[in-house]
Structures are given as structure tokens and as C-alpha cells.
Amino acid sequence: MQLRICLLLALFLPGCAMTAEERFLRGASLERASEDRLEPLNRKIHAFNNEVDRLVIRPPAAAYRAVVPAPMRRAINNFYNHLGEPLHGVNAIAQGKPRSAFRALDRFLINSVLGGVGTIDEASRMGFDQQRHDFGQTLAVWGIPSGPFLMLPLFGPSTLRDGIGLLTEFAIDPVGHGAGAILTSTQSTMQILVRLVDERAELIERGEQIRRGAADDYATIRSAWLQLRLAELWDGNPPILDEDWDEDPDAAVPQPEPEGSLL
């Protein structure tokens, strides 16, 4: 019976017989994504995204940045980061990282009570920095390969696996379901638009710095995103060199969290 279950799972979860380290190494590899076999299609979507950003998203984001004082923008950004803590915790549990899960819970409680419902990041001031965990990362820990690099309409660079992870998070987000039950459809739409404008405003300076002087805007964005994603998959400690990874692949694999303090 167990063998049958394993064979069935193998259709959906590659590497049923793999160790945890082998599954992670398989899932964390972005080699296939870096090949960018869908580049012609991705470039067209990238051009579309640039036009939508130039005509629709960037103007209100720039106005928002110019009109809204920095402390208020920071409070709004903190609030939306605060709403993401429950999902970070859920994904940390799914990834077998109890300390990170308790970190998300600590941050949510501290900032809810002492941080003005999340508008002030009091938890970071106390030494509890945010540890982000998304469902795409969870799938990687489970050994699901990245799949090809994809430039998603409106959402930007991703992979097939991370795109599926993004859709899944929309479906299971407890905060999103809670807001949907409280807010009207108009209010929900408004808060989504405010969040979009706020996030785009945060990217104005950083995005311009990355793209300034780039001979190939698409290639620059793809390369920057792949490097960032690799760091996220390895919890901020990616392998420095490919040859180092090949020589001792287990050396850099994140180790299980100790059973001691959960804080």
C-alpha cells in the first residue's frame, strides 16, 4: 500500500525516494529557468508589462510618492507586510522550519498590539526581523523543480513553479479571506489598488537603479530576479560559486532547525 502511494505521489512530487537534502537541491536549482527557453514569449510579455507600467501604474505611484510623506508611506508598507505574516508562518511550517513559524507568530502579535495594528514594525526594533517564506519556496523544499522562467503579465518575472505558488497563495491567504468577508467588493478593490501603488512606489528608486544604463532591459531584469530568487530559496545564504556547489552539494544545504529555543 505504501509503495502504491509513493508511486502515485511520484507523478506529482518528483523524487519520492529522495532525502530531504536531495529534494531541496533539486528544487533550489534554477538552471532550467536560467536557460529561458520561452524567451521570445517572455520578451513580448515584458514589453507589455513595461507599457502598462508606464501608462497606468507608474504615474499614480510617482504621484503617491511625491504627495504622501515618507513616514506615512512607511506605515502603509509596514501594514501590508504585517498582513503577510500569517502566510509566512504557514509556509515555514510546511517547510519544516518551526523557529521561522514562531518568528512570524511573534511578529504578528507584537506588531498587532504594540505596532499600531502593524503600521509600526515594533518587532524588528525588538530584534525579530521578518523572515519571508512563500509557497513557491515551499514547493522547492518539497523537491518540485522550478520549471522554465516565465514573465507573468502584470506580476513580472517568475518561474512555472513560483507562478503556481503565487496563485495558490491567493487562494489560501487567510488574511485575504478575512478581508473579503469584512470589506465590500468596492473596498476590497480599493485596498488592492492602494497596495499595488504602494509596492510600485517602493520599487521606483530600486528599479531605476537596476535598469539604468542597461543595454538589454529584459536580460537585466531576468538576471537580477534569478539572483534574488536563488538567495530567497537558500534563506539568504545561496552557494557563492557553481563549482563549490558541485564539489560539496550538502555543505551549503540549510540544516534542520535545532530543537532548542523556538525564538
Q: What is the mean pLDDT of residues 104-125?
A: 95
| Residue bearing the bigger pLDDT, 254 or 206 | 206
Q: What is the mean pLDDT of residues 134-143?
A: 96
Domain count, the chain: 1
pLDDT tens digits for 179-208? 656 666 776 677 777 878 888 777 766 666
The pLDDT, as a whole number, for residue 229 is 95
Q: What is the mean pLDDT of residues 63-84?
A: 91
Do residues 104 and 86 touch, judged by C-beta distance below 8 A? yes
The pLDDT, as a whole number, for residue 17 is 63
The pLDDT, as a whole number, for residue 181 is 60
Residue with cell 504627495: 67
Distance CA(104)–CA(129), nearest Å, equals: 9
Q: Is residue 12 part of a domain?
A: no
Phi-psi region of 163 (alpha: psi -120 to 50; beta: other; left: phi over 0): alpha
* Percentage of the chain modeled with pLDDT above 90: 53
Q: Is residue 255 part of a domain?
A: no
Q: Is residue 197 part of a domain?
A: yes
The pLDDT, as a whole number, for residue 228 is 93
The pLDDT, as a whole number, for residue 211 is 72
Do residues 173 and 157 touch, judged by C-beta distance below 8 A? no
* Range of weakest confidence among 10-24, 65-79, 115-129: 10-24
Q: Is residue 198 part of a domain?
A: yes
The pLDDT, as a whole number, for residue 72 is 93
The pLDDT, as a whole number, for residue 9 is 47
The pLDDT, as a whole number, for residue 244 is 41
Q: What is the mean pLDDT of residues 100-114?
A: 96
Do residues 155 and 166 touch, judged by C-beta distance below 8 A? yes
The pLDDT, as a whole number, for residue 174 is 67
Q: Which residue, among 140, 152, 129, has the nearest Cα to 81 in the 3D structure?
A: 129
* Range of weakest confidence among 81-85, 121-125, 212-216, 224-228: 212-216
pLDDT tens digits for 33-43? 999 999 999 99
Q: How far is CA 28 from CA 34, 42, 174, 194, 212, in A?
A: 12, 22, 27, 33, 29
The pLDDT, as a whole number, for residue 185 is 72
Domain that holds residue 150: 18-239
Band of pLDDT at residue 89, cut at 50, 70 and 90: very high
Name the burial class of residue 125, with classes exposed (0-12), middle (13-18) and buried (19+) by CB atoms within 10 angstroms of its CB.
Answer: exposed
**Per-position b or e across 58-81, b if 16+ CB within 10 A of its CB:** beebeebbeebeeeebebbbbbeb
Q: Is residue 138 part of a domain?
A: yes
Three-state SS at 159: strand
pTM of the full structure: 0.79
Distance CA(195)–CA(60), nearest Å, equals: 12
Three-state SS at 149: strand
Q: Is residue 263 part of a domain?
A: no
The pLDDT, as a whole number, for residue 198 is 82
Q: How far is CA 189 from CA 119, 171, 176, 201, in A?
A: 20, 16, 12, 18
Band of pLDDT at residue 243, cut at 50, 70 and 90: very low
Q: Say yes or no to pLDDT of 168 above 80.
A: yes
Average pLDDT, the chain: 82
Q: Is residue 166 part of a domain?
A: yes
Q: Which residue, among 42, 57, 111, 101, has the nearest Cα to 80 in the 3D structure?
A: 111
Q: Is residue 162 part of a domain?
A: yes
Three-state SS at 158: strand
Single-letter amino acid code for the residue at 42: N
The pLDDT, as a whole number, for residue 74 is 92
